[in-house]
Structure 1
Amino acid sequence: MRQPFFSALTFLFAIYCSPTYADLSLTLNEEEMAKANAMYQQYCSLCHGKDRAGYKADNAPSLKSHSMLSTAYPQLLFDSIAWGRVNSAMDGYSRDMGGPFSDSDIILLIRWLAQKESITPVELTQTSISGDALKGKALYASNCASCHGDKGQGVTAPAIADQLFLSSATDSYIKHAIVNGRDDTPMQSFKNQLEDDEINDLVAYLRSQASGWKKKPIELAQWPSADEYVLNPKGQDPTFNLREGRYVPAHEVVRALEDKKKFIVLDTRPGSAWQRIHIPGAVPMPYYRDKSKIADNLPNDGTWIVAYCACPHAASDSVINHLRSLGYKNTAVIDEGILKWIEMGLPVIAGKDKVVGLEDKDG
């Protein structure tokens, strides 16, 4: 077995792994491959695509890219799945964050990704790269902002101002991506477009955006009980004007909340996202939940059911489509999604019980 693979993976297993996956071989058996594939299809394919080609929803990147997998494997892949990406639709899937995966589940999944593409892990240096961040800022604006966003928030490409990414990705990882690009993605190589010093300046600018991030499991709140699903059970039914017979504007949902109308709000993101921040009264109903259980405790009596996600439609569409197939008639998706909802300064609950507005939405 290749030594670079051993050195990187041994470090990861020393920190995270349970005895279930103590074998450091890259080769998974048929049973493990089948289990990992089922996990991927249930939890990941909605955004990354059934074939892992990416960009199915919310510009989720390709998970077939050799250049990405070979440099992100194993640590950055593990962190991204476990803890998610701040201020993006990618939430953490670790049980420590309220998600469905154990550490060994995540390790199995990243080993499966590596084996599916037969990657050779690249050993990158931990050395910091020196450059001029001010020059790098100008280079970023002219070469990167159109895809990654003027503030690194992500537009048609992943967010790269994400604090988890910047805390986990080394300077050499960032430079490698700029120099070599990402195969199977729109990310091109810049080695023939920028001088080496300019790339160093660009890396320095991206690194300057890091404000610090630490792995910290959150205090998990108890999910609502069935008798809490219906908001204002004695209230009147809301009146919603749906676009395309499905999408309800955020301001109409807010009005229904303020007027104490009778309806149900479903948060279809991963459970970890609901734990972090959600619309007041929202019931966690992750898109990956067993379809036979989605309708559990949801009354099919004409009570309005409004769902949302971050994409803003992929996960919520999936859940609403299933409910409609079961005969639920008064169903809708919040058109803007929760990320836009937060930007609009609309009410959310952060953590267990704090209601916040625009002025302290990150509290």
Structure 2
Amino acid sequence: MYKQILFLLTLSTMLSKVIIAQEYETIEPPRKLTAKQAEIAEKNYLQYCALCHGKDRQGHVNDHAPSLKSASLFQSGVPHAILRPMSYGRTGTPMGGYLDEVGGPMTLEETWNLTYWLFEKSGVDRVKLSTNPVQGDIKKGERVYQKECSTCHGINGEGITAPALGNPSALAHNTDEFIRYAIRHGRKNTPMKAYQGILPEQSINDITAFLRNKASGWQDNKPVLKQLPTPAEYVVNPEGEHPNFTLKDDQYVMAEDLYKALEKKQKMVLFDTRVTSVWQTAHIKGSVPLPYYADLDAMIADIPTDVQIVAYCSCPRAAADHVVNKLRHKGFTKTAVLWEGIFGWMHLGFPVTRGDLSTLD
């Protein structure tokens, strides 16, 4: 009997991978942990995560914490969809940030390693998800959501017996396809069933579009791409005084110091060094998108070399470090990197803005 059960489980896993491979392209797994890294990651999980997510990663032990052994989550959510909420938390939910830079107990390396450990324990292949927007009817999606999803996730996405889907930080930084994948495939061994084959594909697209629309709040607004700043708009508070930051390691400005300088309307340039599409999703007001891979000379042609420049990213510093080091090499004398990155900035409660909004008809 045991051999028969094992055979059926193995066959089920193989068939699942075949179905996924037919629908989605699989991609290489993240790096393999050493035995020591895995040991520390497991210890951290049991110490910090098991209380709510369960010792066996089954989820829903406390505070409606989701399963961390769900195949569909780790097929679609590694690394950033796991790493970001672990590091910076989910504002307005019991999920706090566990990265030391926002007051948590783990280093950046430890949060990465715990992410990889969870993936390795899931035993699945990653799938390549599109970053293109999912097209759907928002109003139809709301009707389907209220019928199929609100009992568990709440009428306003607040979460009742399931995770809060109206959480702005989750919606702002998960792709449309990540959301659709979860609806299609569910979360195995949790109350979240797979809706592929239950709902028409267009209805799944409609729910996805409805949820994406809520990234700016549970109101009837829709995002409109914001016009990119012109060179004449690069300098924030052009008539203000120059800030005088005390930099950590001669490179980094702390979020609180940057916020105070902006509140005092001090003169500076803010560079968002992430891809421009995520600048549209959420950015510090007044910042200019300058992706780390952009033509730097063209972007900085009209900026005085002595103006204070602050760059930020979400790594939390790698891309911004890359840009600032280039700027210093080109003779810019007042440059800094936001130490906490934008997710740390948001976790600390400092404001961000996103694409323009217009009211739905």
TM bucket (normalised to shorter chain) is 0.5 to 0.7
Q: What's the offset of the Cα at 1:50?
A: 1.1
Residue from 23, 27, 36 that aligns with 1:4: 27
Match of 1:174 among 165, 175, 179: 179
Deviations 1:178-227 (A, max 9, x none): 11111121100111221111111111100110118xxx98549xxxxxxx
C-alpha separation in 1, matches of 2:34 and 2:99: 24
Give the fraction of aligned pairs with identical amino acids, expressed as a percent: 37
Contact 2:70/2:188 (8 A) holds in 1 = yes
Match of 2:20 in 1: none
Mapped to 1, the partners of 2:35 and 2:189 lie a distance apart of 26
The answer to whether the 8 Å contact 2:76/2:127 transfers is yes
**Residues of 2 paired with 1:351 and 1:85: CA distance?**
12
Match of 2:152 among 147, 152, 156: 147
Q: 1:81: Cα distance to partner?
A: 0.5
Aligned pair in 2 of structure 1 residues 135, 3: CA closer, same or farther (>3 Å)?
closer
Partner of 1:102: 107
Gaps of 5+ in 1: 10-24, 221-349, 353-363
- For the residue of structure 2 that corresponds to 1:37, the secondary structure is helix
Q: 1:330-362: CA deviations, max 9, x gaps?
A: xxxxxxxxxxxxxxxxxxxx979xxxxxxxxxx
Distance 2:36 2:96 in 1: 28
Asked if the contact 2:98/2:105 (under 8 Å) is kept, the reply is: yes
Contact 1:97 1:217 in 2 (8 A): no
Do 1:74 and 1:110's aligned partners in 2 also have CA atoms closer than 8 Å? Answer: yes
Map 1:26-45 to 2 at 5 A. 26=32, 28-45=33-50
Match of 2:69 in 1: 64
Other-structure match for 1:303: none
Cα distance in structure 2, aligned partners of 1:91 and 1:170? 22
Give the conservation status (yes or no) of the 8 Å contact 2:67–2:187.
no
Letter in 2 for 1:54: G
Aligned to 1:92: 97
Quote how far apart the aligned CAs of 1:30 are.
2.2
Aligned AA for 1:34?
Answer: E
Provide the secondary structure at the position in 2 that maps to 1:154: coil
Do 2:90 and 2:169's aligned partners in 1 also have CA atoms closer than 8 Å? yes
Question: What does 1:202-217 align with in structure 2 at a 5 Å threshold?
Answer: 202-211=207-216
Q: For 1:63, give the aligned amino acid.
A: L
Match of 2:122 in 1: 117
Aligned-CA RMSD value: 2.4
| Cα distance per residue 1:24-60 (max 9 Å; x no partner) | x33x232222111110111111111111111111111
* Cα contact 1:96–1:217 (8 A) shared by 2: no
Question: Which string of whole-angstrom CA distances, capped at 9 and with x for unpartnered residues, describes residues 105-161 of structure 1?
Answer: 110001111111222111100010111101111111000000001111111111111
Whole-Å separation in 2 of the counterparts to 1:114 and 1:39? 15
SS in 1 for 2:160: coil
Distance, in Å, in 1 between the alignment partners of 2:71 and 2:135 is 27
Counterpart contact for 2:83–2:112, Cα < 8 Å: yes
Amino acid in the other structure paired with 1:5: E
Residue among 191, 194, 199 paired with 1:194:
199
Aligned to 1:76, the other structure's residue is in SS state helix
Residues in 2 aligned to 1:119 and 1:146: alpha-carbon distance in whole angstroms: 30
Amino acid at match of 2:113: L
Superposition TM-score, scaled by structure 2 size: 0.53
Question: Which TM-score applies when normalising by structure 1?
Answer: 0.52
Summarize the Cα distance change of 1:29–1:202 in structure 2 as closer, same or farther, 3 Å threshold. same
